[in-house]
Amino acid sequence: MALNFNAREIFDMGIQIEVNGRTFYETAAKKTAETSVRDFFKELAAWENQHVALFTELRDSLPAAAGAADIFDPNGEAEGYIRAAGDSHVFIKNTDIAGLVAGCKNPVEILDLAITFEKDSVVFYTTMKKVVAPNLGQDKVDRLIDEELKHISLLTQRQSKLKAR
């Protein structure tokens, strides 16, 4: 069985994930009283906004052939992997972003959820990379993964500092 896969859809989904991430960090900033932590959340929101622009640029730079590609998927596994990775992403399965933030008791818990969000993004993009042909933007998916890995590192460092206080 062939899976009709549109590489642009990866970037469209990535854009939506980043928009949801921006909303998450903006909401977290509004909830946080401590100035330095609030400013950090605002900075994270700005990064997500930059990612929306980056992902849009990457999507728009894909070759025309990336619009659709047939992938040999005799057992339906690729489609299952893609669906599972997307469906399990914290910002896809939970559309009430404000509710997610409201459920956090403090900035450490907000950062914990943010780390989960970034990890989910890495899993999602890594899964998607498996179905994007090298000539259809696989290297661009790698760039998305690298960006998310940087975020995990920064979030983990900030969380450690907050826990140490």
Residue of 67 and 53 predicted with greater confidence: 53
Q: Answer yes or no: is pLDDT of 2 > 60.
A: no
Element (H, E) at 18: helix 7-31
Task: Please list the residues that pair with 70 across neighbouring strands.
Answer: 4
CATH of residue 131:
1.20.1260.10
**What's the rounded mean pLDDT across residues 69-75?**
60
CB atoms within 10 A of CB 30: 12
Confidence class for position 5, pLDDT limits 50, 70, 90: low
Q: What is the pLDDT of residue 43?
A: 93
pTM, 2 dp: 0.80
Residues composing the chain: 165
Amino acid at 135: N
> For 41-59, what is the mean pLDDT?
90
Q: In sequence order, which residues have a C-beta less than 8 Å from that of residue 42 and are 6 or more positions away?
A: 25, 26, 29
User: Domain residues for 74?
Assistant: 2-164
Query: What amino acid occupies position 85?
Result: A
Number of domains into which the chain is organized: 1
Residue 68 has pLDDT above 80, yes or no: no
CA angle 105, 107, 110 (to 5 degrees): 80
Say which residue, 115 or 5, is predicted with more confidence. 115
Percent of the chain with pLDDT over 70: 79
